[in-house]
Amino acid sequence: MINSTAVAAIATGLSLMIGMPAEAEPSSHNGTWAVELVTDSGLCSARYSYALAIREGQVQLVSGGAGARVNGHVSADGLVGLTVNNGTASGTGTGRLQGGSGAGTWKVSSLCAGRWTARRSDTRTAEVE
């Protein structure tokens, strides 16, 4: 299982490899995001929908993943690194948020893989303490 420190290190490494500067503040991604996962290969269901909250770069599951634990980070320039655990299954997701939308890929062990898209659905929810 990959912990959040490893995911953050991977995201930072990807940022350095791509050569994209971190221009935005992490808080620019704060809010609630509607995320849809589409399975491209493997034994998983065709589509999944989740609501995730981002606050100061940290990702939390809001709804759609009964029993799932999400651990993730969004860097200042929008790179996303997530791990999801649900029972014995675990998966990872990577991608990028930019403005009010985002996209990337995901994988659950060797069971299935696909792509995800996200759109900001509310900017207030994750910003309120």
Domain that holds residue 72: 4-127
Distance CA 102, CA 119 (A): 6
Which domain CATH number covers 31?
2.40.128.120
Distance CA 120, CA 113 (A): 23
Distance CA 101, CA 77 (A): 13
List pLDDT tens digits, range 88-115.
889 999 999 999 999 999 999 889 999 9
Measure the CA dihedral 104/110/111/113, to 10°.
20
DSSP notation for the chain: ---HHHHHHHHHHHHHHHT----S-GGGG-EEEEEEEEEEEESS-SEEEEEEEEETTEEEEEES-TT-EEEEEE-TT-EEEEEEEETTEEEEEEEEEETTEEEEEEEETTTEEEEEEEEEEESSGGG--
46 has a pLDDT exceeding 50: yes
CB atoms within 10 A of CB 92: 19
Out of 17-26, 42-51, 63-72, 76-85, least confident range:
17-26
pTM (two decimals): 0.72
- Specify the number of domains making up the chain: 1
